[in-house]
Amino acid sequence: MRSAIITFSIFLYAVAVPYLEINATHVFNPDWTPHVRIHEVWQLITNSGIGLLCLWLVWSKKEIVLSTLLSMLVTGGFLLAFALKGFYGGSMKYLDGSEKTLFGLNIGIVGFGLAFILLVFVLASYFRKTK
């Protein structure tokens, strides 16, 4: 079950996010500066690379803790960036004012919030079992 939860979180940040962002709203957005685009592509490549490493760790090496912690850094990093968006002028709304939502909440908060909570449970169950 732990491996499935970790894999779910990896799928979100290593597959779903690139799928949602390699298009005209993000990577190919004509209103974004080239400097912003390179940071976006860098983030997508880095997170997908971390995801591949985590999949290898959890499925080949049975390394639950490191894979979970790395996945928590990626998902938690988004949650922290979202929480701090007022500080640096960030937003999850597109230039037309629309926003991707689920249950009335931003899809990033729903997906990464759920993933982060599940990953916390993975760590807690791992350490509870090893005591």
Residue 114 confidence (pLDDT) above 80: yes
Query: Mind listing the pLDDT tens digit for each residue in 14-70?
Result: 999 999 999 999 999 999 999 999 999 999 999 999 999 999 999 999 999 999 999
Residue 129 confidence (pLDDT) above 80: yes
Give CA–CA dist 68/83, Å, rounded. Answer: 22
Task: Please tell me what DSSP assigns to residue 45.
Answer: H
State the chain's maximal CA–CA distance in angstroms. 54
Question: pLDDT-based confidence at 95, cuts 50/70/90?
Answer: confident
Would you state the pLDDT for residue 130? 74
What are the sequence ranges of the domains in the chain? 2-130
Residue pair 1/126 in contact by the 8 Å Cβ criterion: no
What's the whole-number mean pLDDT along residues 119-123?
A: 97
